[in-house]
Structure 1
């Protein structure tokens, strides 16, 4: 009995063991440590994914192969504009839905694999349509696959931007994008020339354009595989509670209360409106030079090669100064290159204009894609990216269709002049109403 009472007394006297939940600051510190501890592996994964993915997607999205192919099949500027408008329309529909599906998840890699894989399947669809269909059915099928490509790319943009923000520190994002875009662009520029010269001119495997699209599919798939094998995704300290899409949309005004973010979206919409002329650059060039496979490859080389070289400048400069400056310079270069193209009648100035357009487009895309990650709170990032993508997509979907109508009815001069007006308006808003988000966030309240 004494032994029993002694045991009970010792148990009562023993200190109570409690577990303390780590504070939010401790969780943030652990998250930050995870990011830096795994930076090398995640950096390599994102580099390979971006390099190979950009290589393939640039062959699809460059304003040369796909617009030229649609024009070859249909003979209509309107059909070119319609196809590209539907591709952009797909990107309008999906980002907000995609963001709503991932912003409450601690791991988003599974969604990235699904959305990335489905986007790549549409490239295969375009290639197969070129080989196995003919006439109007081929045009309709390719435009359909373009719409689905845009649909899945809209969600992919949200998911992959979120992955980049989770594992790459803000001070390293510019140089990562610089090197992945530069090497991917270098490969794409060389492949664009080879595709024009040896795939399209030679009508390789019965359809040089389909062969080009198939090659793009393999490259983008290799990039996605590399990211899946290499990336280690952390779980953030906090995530938003899951909400119905309808309820989440009621919170959009609060996101837009950030004036910097709001006017940044205005700049995006104006700049993307200026892109209405992009699909018609190469068609306009055909009025001054022969658009042979060789020349098409050289213009693609100019566009993608300048994209490649300038990315190194944009990335390193953006890491040092923030990306507002990059967007400013890109818009100015975009306007100047469009003016040069409007007044060019020989191959050399047209080549230089395409080089300027490639450099300006790469600077704009890098700055827009990186600045959006630097506004506001981390938990709101997926929906901010989605709103930005949707705003861009609304203008991008209407732009090519309107551009096709304007070029067909009023001519390329009016189309290019209207594009310049939108770009100048975006430049003014950026100068006057959008501060560099990196320094604005660090400034004391």
Structure 2
């Protein structure tokens, strides 16, 4: 990361120091702290990522939660609404998270609060399945008629909104933590191994959850049992990070700003670096392609049927490919930069979607889900890592927030519109729209986004 700050918004982290004359010494001390504690912090980030990603994959994979919502509601629109609520929670919360940490020398306390509340939302989804009825309840609205709701569906939608809010905030905080304690040359392989091992556990758990939890309706609700496992895994990862991480105090930090003022800084951040602006637009287009994601598994059900065995098998394909491909993405990104990873991921996403639309036997569908898992994991790693390499260190929290908010804006409307389109026009139209967004993202990436690592080296 470029350690130079953008004065006058930046103040020394140590208010007792003697000013800019001490800045080179503070920078050197900061770098020494990072390398002296690298092994411990690497392990903490690895365990947090491995266990956390395992649990979050079970919630975010386009299998269990969409299938569960469809099973208890019978509506594509409700599936789309749930995913839209999850994403709308992430629109403003990244900015809030950035304003709460960008002026702090230590951000771990905020990480514990935001991460803990995200995990409580997963627990709420599980408990709603066990303790709330799913029978429709009618509420009289007088002359306006009746409002019909299912308490379980309504509660799960609320917890999905809560999950999105705190996931958006924690994305900023945990990305900032990794940027502070892991050198740029080690981030790809760290993400590769933590995502790979976490994905291996998630893939195995997904397969057995489909066969043993859901088909057997374990403890009265196999889906709730699956989500409780996700809660415990993600909580264990957060505990490991809290125990192991040693966080340095940066040489400089931004002055604390008002939430409104920082929103007004968005255009400036984008104007400063045209390549970064094009990267944000590429993210928005790729995220818009997720319009189809909740409906992959429902589409398969409409073509070949869907039972617990098939659900587990396709979850294994998606998460297993995610696992294996992460090793390739991480080492490739460390070697070449993550623009190439993003490029290959978008191409793979397009190919897998076309395959899913074209062939309707279990073999090709399995391969398509492998392709979707590998492509979307590559996209996520590239998007989350490239953002750490643009611009200055002191602007990093807000830069992460800009990208997260931009993604969430498009991801919010996508599933909801996709659900309505699926109901009215069919799944092929939804998938076609997804392919169009992916093609535009690929074109913009090729034309306007430079590899930030190469650009930084050329500027030195």
Same fold, TM-score > 0.5, yes or no? yes
TM-score (norm 1): 0.95
Q: How does 1:89-108 map to 2 (within 5 A)?
A: 89-108=88-107
- Matched residues in 2 for 1:343 and 1:91: separation? 34
Give, in whole Å, the separation in 2 of the partners of 1:95 and 1:355.
30
Spell out the pairing of 1:295-374 with structure 2 (5 A cutoff): 295-374=310-389
SS of residue paired to 1:104? coil
Could you report, residue by residue, the CA deviation over 1:337-358 in whole angstroms, capped at 9, with x for unpaired residues? 0000001211000000000000
Which secondary structure does the structure 1 equivalent of 2:305 belong to?
coil
Q: Secondary structure at the match of 1:378?
A: coil
User: Does residue 383 of structure 1 match 2:398?
Assistant: yes
Alignment of 1:30-429 (within 5 A): 30-135=29-134, 136-257=150-271, 258-429=273-444
Deviation at 1:106, TM superposition (A): 0.4
Describe the superposition over 1:279-330 as per-residue Cα deviations: whole angstroms up to 9, x where unpaired.
0000001122221101100000000000000000000000000000000000
Out of 430, 439, 443, the position equivalent to 2:454 is 439
Partner SS state of residue 303, structure 2? coil
Higher gyration radius (CA)? 1
- Of 326-335 and 22-31, more deviation after overlay is shown by 22-31
- CA shift for structure 1 position 251: 2.2
Q: What is the Cα deviation at residue 101 of structure 1?
A: 1.0
CA shift digits 1:172-218 (9 cap, x unpaired): 00000000000000000000001000000000000000000001000
Indicate the RMSD between aligned Cα atoms, in angstroms. 1.2
Q: CA deviation at 1:249?
A: 2.4
**Which aligned pairs between 1:10-49 and structure 2 lie closer than 5 A?**
23-49=22-48
Q: Secondary structure at the match of 1:235?
A: coil
Find the aligned partners of 2:385 and 2:312 in 1 and give their Cα distance: 30
CA deviations over 1:245-277 (Å, ceiling 9, x no partner)? 122223222201110111000000000000110
Q: Which residue does the alignment assign to 1:7?
A: none
Instruction: Give SS of 2:304's match.
Output: coil
Tell me how far apart the structure 2 counterparts of residues 250 and 439 of structure 1 sit (CA, whole Å): 29
Instruction: Quote the residue 2:144 is aligned against.
Output: none
Deviations 1:67-99 (A, max 9, x none): 000000000000000000000000112010110
- Deviation of the 1:20 alpha carbon: 9.3
TM-score between both structures, scaled by the size of structure 2: 0.92
Distance 1:57 1:20 in 2: 44
Q: Give the superposition deviation at 1:50.
A: 0.2
User: Mean Cα displacement is larger for which, 255-264 or 167-176?
Assistant: 255-264
Give 1:19 deviation, angstroms: 8.3
The 2-side partners of 1:19 and 1:160 are apart by: 31
- Post-superposition Cα deviations, 1:21-66, rounded to whole Å, max 9, x if no partner, equal 8621111111011000000000000000000000000000000000
- Report the count of equivalent residues: 428
Distance 2:19 2:392 in 1: 27
Whole-angstrom distance in 2 between the partners of 1:267 and 1:246: 26
- SS for the counterpart of 1:239 is strand
Q: Which runs of 5+ in 2 are unaligned?
A: 1-16, 135-149
Structure 1 residue 372 displacement after superposition = 0.3
CA-CA distance at 1:164 after TM superposition: 0.3
Q: Secondary structure at the match of 1:288?
A: helix
In structure 2, the residue corresponding to 1:286 is in which secondary structure? helix
Q: Secondary structure at the match of 2:365?
A: helix
Consecutive unaligned residues in structure 1, runs of 5 or more: 1-17
Shift of residue 444, structure 1, vs aligned partner: 2.9
Secondary structure of 1:287's aligned partner: helix
